[in-house]
Amino acid sequence: MKNSTKTLLAGAVLAAASASASAQQVNVICSVQADWCNMIATVYARTTGVKINLALKGSGEALAQLIAERENPKTDVWFGGTGDPHLQAAEQGLTLEYKSPTLSQLYPWAQDQAKQSGYKTVGIYSGPLGFGYNTELLAKKKLPAPKSWADLLKPEYKGDIQVANPASSGTAYTMIATLVQLMGEDKAFDYLKGLHKNIAAYTRSGTAPIKAVARGETAVSISFIHDAPQEKMQGFPVETVTPSEGTGAEIGSMSIVKGARNMEQAKRFYEWALTPAAQAFGAATKQYQLPSNKSTPVDPNVPDFKKIKLIDYDYKKYGASAERRRLIARWEKEVNSLPR
């Protein structure tokens, strides 16, 4: 075990000191990447004696599961994934109002996420939407790296772009909501129709397109750019850019499920997950979102938000269930039904 991971483990032991050491369990839907989920589960069990039963699902799938389990919840905590579906779960009464004493230690955007939900969710990280691209593949195809949303409509990118399906992916829904706020709804859907002509595949998960870029299966992805450094560290020729017109950012969130079977353990895990020691496991597993606790060390691979043109994303409006359903239904009808 590397020294940095040993340090994190030691910190996690202290952070979890108040948790029960009895052989209990907590059921967690985890919507971040698998390495992060598994490290959390391993360290938490080792330091508290409480077993985490993990289910790895994208945020769209996670919300669908909570809706399906409404009358008999099998999940205790939903950890990570884009914040919009967490806000929708809060609106639908699927998650528990819980005001953490740790809130004051979090960045304002994380506290705002909690306030907007009636304290039924909380921000645990943030990351900007942008493009990933394979430098070697672009050079081979003699294509320039995209720098703007407008660039992705150019005919030379036909069949060379991947993005996730918004029905299953919070990443892709963030893209639609970002474009609607940036361009106005009708112009955004005209844009999405044009983009559709260049899309090679709509993937199930939001991280699949950047992995396809890394492995040379597609030239360009629309992704959260914090997912790229891990691929680059493995030797893949991946670079990222955020669009010049402006872009949105996710607020990854965490929620306790209303009616959770292991409520006491759910609250203990929730509190632990907001500590700096626990939040450092993101970077320890090469996941480079900005942590929400102001005392968590920020890895140099985390995108510099000061250098990115961010829109004033309306998380409350686009986190509403009716708005999400409406926009995805319009995308299915007007965009995904078109030939490519």
Per-residue pLDDT tens digits for 105-151: 999 999 999 999 999 999 999 999 999 999 999 999 999 999 999 99
> Are 108 and 244 found together in one domain?
no
Query: Which residue is it, tokens 């499920």?
Result: 257
Q: Are 97 and 120 in contact (CB under 8 A)?
A: yes
Query: Which residue(s) pair with 128 in the sheet?
Result: 249
Angle of CA points 168, 174, 180, to nearest 5°? 120
For residue 39, give the amino acid letter. Answer: M
Each residue of 146-204: pLDDT tens digit?
999 999 999 999 999 999 999 888 899 999 999 999 999 999 999 999 999 999 999 99
284 vs 318: CA distance, rounded Å: 31
Name residues whose C-beta falls within 8 Å of residue 216's C-beta, 6 or more positions apart in sequence: 134, 136, 137
204 vs 114: CA distance, rounded Å: 28
Q: How many domains does the structure of the chain reveal?
A: 2
> Are 104 and 196 found together in one domain?
no
CA 271 to centroid of chain Cα atoms: 20
Instruction: Please report which confidence band the pLDDT of residue 20 belongs to, taking 50, 70 and 90 as the band edges.
Output: very low
What is the structure's pLDDT at 19? 43
> Are 178 and 267 found together in one domain?
no
303 vs 224: CA distance, rounded Å: 10
Instruction: Please report which confidence band the pLDDT of residue 13 belongs to, taking 50, 70 and 90 as the band edges.
Output: low
> Are 74 and 158 found together in one domain?
no
Handedness of CA 241, 298, 80, 88 (dihedral sign): negative
120 vs 258: CA distance, rounded Å: 9
What is the structure's pLDDT at 33? 87
Name residues whose C-beta falls within 8 Å of residue 83's C-beta, 6 or more positions apart in sequence: 113, 121, 123, 170, 250, 251, 252, 253, 315, 319
Phi first, then psi: give them for residue 55, nearest 5 degrees: -130, 115
* pTM of the model as a whole: 0.83
Question: Which two tokens mark 150?
Answer: 């407008």
> Are 122 and 191 found together in one domain?
no
Handedness of CA 138, 143, 148, 150 (dihedral sign): negative
313 within a domain of the structure (yes/no): no
For residue 225, give the amino acid letter. Answer: I
314 within a domain of the structure (yes/no): no
Q: Are 160 and 218 in contact (CB under 8 A)?
A: yes
**Cα-trace Rg, the chain:** 20
DSSP 8-class letter at 332: I
256 vs 250: CA distance, rounded Å: 19
Domain span including residue 54: 3-126+251-306
251: three-class secondary structure by DSSP:
strand
315 within a domain of the structure (yes/no): no
202 within a domain of the structure (yes/no): yes
Between the two ends of the chain, the Cα-to-Cα distance in Å is: 48
Q: Looking at residue 74, which CATH number applies to its domain?
A: 3.40.190.10
